[in-house]
C-alpha cells in the first residue's frame, strides 16, 4: 500500500482502479494466510482498514467494482482437506473470570448449586491455561487410533498422522489401561522454538509467524506430516473424553494417571481448598509467567471431585465446575484522533474513539469503545466517578487503552499532563447521526434514573437500525444464512434496484422471485456474484424456510431477548401462533397471559415488557406477517427424552429440599423435559413440597394439583 494514502475523494479513476486491484489481491492473500495457514501477517484492525478502504473506493467508483472484489464475494473458499471427526463427547470451552471478585462468585456459585455437603469443603485444582490448541487423542486397547482438533466443539479435524509425529504423545499406553481412553489437552510450541523458527524463516527470506499459538496451529494443519514433525510441538494433558473405565475419581487423580501413562502434565497444577489459596496460586503463576517457556493466558480452576463435577453439569457450552481466571488486560498509550458515533440494532448510540494505531499485546488497536455519554464524562453506570478528578475524554487527548482477550478495546484513562491547551469537552449528539431523529436517554420507570444509553428514536426510519437489524436476523444463532453475511446485507440494503433490494427480513425470502420475474438487474450479472454463487445463495435461503421456533424468536431482535430467553419462550409456548397470541393478549400488562409470561422461570419483568411492547407496534406485526408468508417456524422440540414421565409437564418446587439444591432440582427436571415454574397455577402438573412449604402448597391443594414429597418425586423421575 502507498505509504501516504490519497484521500478517496481525490483519487483519479485510474488510481482507483489500480488500488482496487491491489486491495483485492492483498485482502485475498491475507484471507489465505489467516484461514489457510493460521499465520496472519497483519492485525485484525489493519485488515479491517484494508476492507474499509476497498469499500470506500468502490462506493465512489461503483463502475470499477471488480469480479474478484472482496466486498461481494459470497462465502469463503473451502479451507482444509482434513476429514471431519465427530467427538464422542463434545469439547467444551470455559467461562472466563477477570477479577478476584469473579472468582469468589464462581466458588460461591459452586457451593450454592451443591448445597450442604457433609464435610462442607470443596477442593479445586488450579493449573495454567495454556495458549495452544486443544486436541482429543483416542486410544483403543492401548493404541493411538485417532486424534482430532476441537473444531466447533462437536466436530473437529482428523489430524492423526500429524499428532503421531509429536514426541510428547505416546503411541501406545502401558498395559492395564482402560480399553477406550480419550486423553485431551493442549498442543503448543515453546517460546524458544517459536523464536528459533522465525529466525530461520527470516534467514531464508520467508514469511515469519505472528505468535506461538498460530504457529502451532499452522504446523499441525499441514498435509505433509513431515513438516509437523520438524516443528517440535509439545503437549500437556489435562482432560479426557470417552473412557471405558475411570481410573480415578478426582481431577487431580486423573491427571496423575495420565502422567504414569507417559503424558506430560503441567507441573504447576495444585489442589487447593479456599478462595484465598486459589487466588494465591494464580498470583504465583502470574509471577512465573515471564519465565515459562510456553504462553499461558490465565489459570483454570476445576472442582476436584468428579462426582461433584457430574452433579454440577454444564451450562450451554461450558461446565459449571470450571472457570478460567484470565490474566489482566494489556495496556498502551496513544492519542484520540476523533470520536465517531455508531448506531446499533436497538438504536443505541455508541461513541467510538478513533486512535493513532498502537500495539497492545501484539495486536494493533485503532478503535476503542467509549461506551456512552457518561463514560466520556468520567461517570460510571451507577453514577460513580470512574476517573480521578472526574476528568473527561477529549479529542486530542493522550489516553491509556486496554485490551483483554477478544473483548473490544477500551479507553481507560487520560494522561492529563499531556492534554493540549485547546481541547474542548466532547458534545454528545442530541440527534441520531444517521437518520436525524431525536436521540434520548430513557428514564427508568421506577427509579427515575437516567439510562446510560442514548437511543435514536427513529426505529424503522433509521437506516442504521434497519441494517443492523437485518445483520442480526441472518446471524449465526438466528437464521444463519450461508453466503448472506454483514457485507452482503450492506450490498443488498443499499441496492437501488427493486429486484435486488433487501430492506426488511421478508425481502430476503422474496429476493429469488423478484429476480426471476423482474427485467431489472440480475444478481448473476453483478460482478462478484456469478451463476453458481447466486444459486448457492438462493438454496441457502430456501433451506431456512423451515426454521426452529427459538431461532425465529431470537431473530426478531426484540430488546433483551437473547438466545437463552428465546429458547425458554419457544419451549414454553411450543408454536409461533401460541407465542404471538399470548403476547397480544398480554398487551394490557395484566390478565392470565401476562401472568403466565412472567411465570416462566428465567423471564423477568423487563424482558416481559419489552416483548409485549414489541407486539403492540403494528409495524412489527406487519413485518412478521409478511415473513410468515415465506417461512414456517417449526414446533419447539421437547428437550427431553419423551419417555420421561415428566416431559412437557410443569413442576413447581417449594419448601426446603434436602437431597438437592433448588438449582440442581430444576436442572434435573428440565433435563427430563419438564418446565419448572415459580408459582402454582391451573397449568401446574406437580408440586414437589419439602418441609416448610407454605402458600404454594395451599394453592396446589386448592387447585387440586398433585403434590409429592422430594422422595416421591425422585422415584417418580427414576432417580
Ligand atoms: S479444561 C471442560 N484446562 O482453554 C473444560 N482447558 O477456554 C475443558 N485450555 O478449549 C477445558 N489450558 O483449549 C482446560 N488447563 C487447561 C487448559 C485449557 C488451555 C484451553 C482449551 C479449551 C479452552 C477453553
308-337: pLDDT as tens digits: 999 999 887 789 999 999 987 778 899 999
Quick one: 650-716 is in which CATH superfamily?
BRCT domain (3.40.50.10190)
| Substitution candidate for ligand 1 out of 106, 133, 134 with most atoms within 8 A of CB | 134
CA of 94 to the centre of ligand 1 (A): 7
**Residue 454 confidence (pLDDT) above 90:** yes
Mean pLDDT of the chain: 88
Rounded Cα gap, residues 306 and 302, in angstroms: 10
| Substitution candidate for ligand 1 out of 128, 129, 187 with most atoms within 8 A of CB | 129
Tell the residue nearest (CA) to atom 10 of ligand 1.
93
**Residue range 84-326, CATH number:** 3.30.470.30
**Higher local confidence (pLDDT), 448 or 427:** 427
Q: Which residues are annotated as a binding site for NAD(+)?
A: 44-48, 93-94, 127, 150, 186, 302, 326
634-668: pLDDT as tens digits: 998 644 445 678 887 899 999 888 888 888 888 88
Write out the catalytic residue numbers: 129
Residues sharing a CB contact under 8 Å with residue 412, sequence separation 6 or more, in sequence order? 331, 399, 400, 401, 402
pLDDT for the residue numbered 405 = 56
222-233: pLDDT as tens digits: 878 888 888 999
**Residue 287 confidence (pLDDT) above 50:** yes
**Residue range 549-633, CATH number:** 1.10.150.20
Does the beta carbon of 127 lie inside 6 Å of ligand 1?
yes
CA of 500 to the centre of ligand 1 (A): 45
Q: Which grid cell is 48?
A: 479491517
| Substitution candidate for ligand 1 out of 186, 220, 266, 296 with most atoms within 8 A of CB | 186
Does the beta carbon of 295 lie inside 6 Å of ligand 1?
no
| Section 268-293 average pLDDT | 92
pTM above 0.75, yes or no: no
Q: Are 541 and 519 in contact (CB under 8 A)?
A: no
pLDDT for the residue numbered 118 = 65
Least confident of 35-44, 95-104, 304-313: 35-44
pLDDT for the residue numbered 640 = 41
pLDDT for the residue numbered 154 = 87
What is the maximum span of the chain, computed from C-alpha positions, in angstroms? Answer: 84
| Section 437-445 average pLDDT | 86
% residues pLDDT > 70 (the chain): 94
The DSSP code sequence of 535-593 is HHHHHHHHHTTEE-HHHHHHHTT-TT--HHHHHHHHHHH-SHHHHHHHHHHGGGS-HHH
Least confident of 172-176, 607-611, 614-618, 667-671: 667-671
| Section 600-626 average pLDDT | 91
Does the beta carbon of 94 lie inside 6 Å of ligand 1?
yes
| Section 521-538 average pLDDT | 88
Does the beta carbon of 235 lie inside 6 Å of ligand 1?
no
Boundaries of every domain in the chain: 84-326, 481-543, 549-633, 650-716
Does the beta carbon of 472 lie inside 6 Å of ligand 1?
no
- Using DSSP's 3-state secondary structure scheme, residue 189 falls into coil
pLDDT for the residue numbered 2 = 43
**Residue 75 confidence (pLDDT) above 50:** no
Nearest CA-CA partner of 526 in 176, 69, 56: 69
Q: Which grid cell is 353?
A: 474513539
Amino acid at each position: 500500500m502507498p505509504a501516504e494514502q490519497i484521500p478517496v475523494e481525490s483519487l483519479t479513476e485510474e488510481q482507483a482502479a489500480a488500488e482496487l486491484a491491489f486491495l483485492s489481491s492483498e485482502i485475498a492473500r491475507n484471507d489465505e494466510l489467516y484461514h489457510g495457514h493460521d499465520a496472519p501477517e497483519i492485525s485484525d484492525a489493519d485488515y479491517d482498514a484494508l476492507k474499509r478502504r476497498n469499500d470506500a473506493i468502490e462506493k465512489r467508483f461503483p463502475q470499477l467494482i471488480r469480479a474478484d472484489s472482496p466486498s461481494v464475494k459470497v462465502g469463503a473458499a473451502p479451507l482444509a482437506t482434513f476429514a471431519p471427526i465427530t467427538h464422542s463427547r463434545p469439547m467444551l470451552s470455559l467461562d472466563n473470570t477477570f477479577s478476584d471478585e469473579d472468582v469468589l462468585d464462581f466458588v460461591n456459585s459452586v457451593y450454592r448449586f451443591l448445597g450442604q455437603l457433609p464435610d462442607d469443603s470443596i477442593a479445586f485444582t488450579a493449573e495454567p491455561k495454556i495458549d495452544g490448541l486443544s486436541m482429543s487423542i483416542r486410544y483403543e486397547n492401548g493404541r493411538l487410533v485417532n486424534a482430532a482438533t476441537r473444531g466447533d466443539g462437536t466436530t473437529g479435524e482428523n489430524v492423526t498422522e500429524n499428532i503421531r509425529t509429536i514426541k510428547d504423545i505416546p503411541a501406545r499406553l502401558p498395559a492395564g489401561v482402560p480399553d477406550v481412553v480419550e486423553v485431551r489437552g493442549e498442543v503448543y510450541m515453546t517460546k524458544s522454538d517459536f523464536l528459533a523458527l522465525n529466525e530461520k524463516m527470516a534467514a531464508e527470506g520467508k514469511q515469519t509467524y505472528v505468535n506461538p499459538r498460530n504457529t502451532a496451529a499452522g504446523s499441525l494443519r499441514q498435509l505433509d506430516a513431515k513438516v509437523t514433525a520438524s516443528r517440535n510441538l509439545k503437549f500437556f494433558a489435562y482432560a479426557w473424553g470417552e473412557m471405558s473405565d475411570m481410573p480415578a475419581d478426582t481431577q487431580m487423580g486423573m491427571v496423575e494417571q495420565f502422567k504414569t501413562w507417559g503424558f506430560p502434565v503441567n507441573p504447576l497444577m495444585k489442589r487447593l481448598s479456599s478462595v484465598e489459596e486459589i487466588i494465591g496460586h494464580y498470583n504465583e503463576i502470574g509471577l512465573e509467567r515471564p519465565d515459562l517457556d510456553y504462553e499461558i493466558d490465565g489459570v483454570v480452576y476445576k472442582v476436584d471431585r468428579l462426582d461433584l463435577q457430574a452433579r454440577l453439569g454444564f451450562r450451554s457450552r461450558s461446565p459449571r465446575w470450571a472457570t478460567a481466571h484470565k490474566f489482566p488486560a494489556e495496556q498502551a498509550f496513544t492519542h484520540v484522533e476523533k470520536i465517531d458515533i455508531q448506531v446499533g440494532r436497538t438504536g443505541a448510540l455508541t461513541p467510538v474513539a478513533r486512535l493513532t494505531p498502537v500495539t497492545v499485546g501484539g495486536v494493533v488497536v485503532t478503535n476503542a469503545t467509549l461506551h456512552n455519554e457518561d463514560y466520556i464524562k468520567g461517570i460510571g453506570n451507577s453514577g460513580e466517578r470512574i476517573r480521578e478528578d472526574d476528568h473527561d475524554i477529549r479529542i486530542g487527548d493522550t489516553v491509556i487503552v486496554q485490551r483483554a482477550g477478544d473483548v473490544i478495546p477500551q479507553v481507560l484513562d487520560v494522561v492529563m499532563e499531556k492534554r493540549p491547551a485547546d481541547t474542548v469537552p466532547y458534545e454528545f449528539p442530541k440527534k441520531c447521526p444517521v437518520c436525524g431523529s431525536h436521540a434520548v436517554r430513557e428514564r427508568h420507570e421506577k427509579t427515575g434514573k437516567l439510562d446510560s444509553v442514548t437511543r435514536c428514536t427513529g426505529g424503522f426510519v433509521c437506516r442504521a437500525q434497519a441494517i443492523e437489524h437485518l445483520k442480526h436476523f441472518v446471524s449465526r444463532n438466528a437464521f444463519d444464512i450461508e453466503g448472506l453475511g454483514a457485507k452482503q446485507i450492506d450490498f443488498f440494503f443499499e441496492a437501488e434496484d427493486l429486484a435486488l433490494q433487501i430492506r426488511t427480513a421478508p425481502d430476503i425470502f422474496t429476493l429469488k422471485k423478484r429476480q426471476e420475474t423482474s427485467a431489472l438487474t440480475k444478481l448473476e450479472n453483478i460482478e462478484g456474484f456469478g451463476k453458481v454463487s447466486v444459486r448457492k445463495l438462493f438454496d441457502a435461503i430456501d433451506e431456512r424456510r423451515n426454521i426452529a421456533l427459538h431461532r425465529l424468536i431470537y431473530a426478531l431482535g426484540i430488546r433483551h431477548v437473547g438466545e437463552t430467553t428465546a429458547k425458554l419462550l419457544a419451549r414454553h409456548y411450543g408454536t409461533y401462533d401460541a407465542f404471538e397470541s399470548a403476547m397480544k393478549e398480554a398487551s394490557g400488562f395484566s390478565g392470565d397471559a401476562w401472568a403466565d409470561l412472567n411465570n416462566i422461570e428465567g423471564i423477568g419483568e423487563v424482558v416481559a415488557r419489552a416483548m409485549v411492547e414489541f407486539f403492540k407496534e403494528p409495524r412489527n406485526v406487519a413485518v412478521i406477517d409478511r415473513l410468515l408468508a415465506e417461512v414456517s417456524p417449526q414446533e419447539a422440540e421437547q428437550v427431553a427424552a419423551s419417555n420421561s414421565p415428566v416431559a412437557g409437564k410443569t413442576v413447581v418446587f417449594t419448601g426446603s429440599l434436602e437431597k438437592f439444591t433448588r438449582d440442581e432440582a430444576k436442572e434435573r427436571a428440565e433435563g427430563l423435559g419438564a418446565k419448572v415454574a415459580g408459582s402454582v397455577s391451573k397449568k401446574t402438573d406437580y408440586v414437589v413440597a419439602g418441609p416448610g412449604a407454605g402458600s404454594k402448597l395451599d394453592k396446589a391443594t386448592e387447585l387440586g394439583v398433585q403434590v409429592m414429597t422430594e422422595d416421591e418425586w425422585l422415584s417418580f423421575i427414576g432417580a
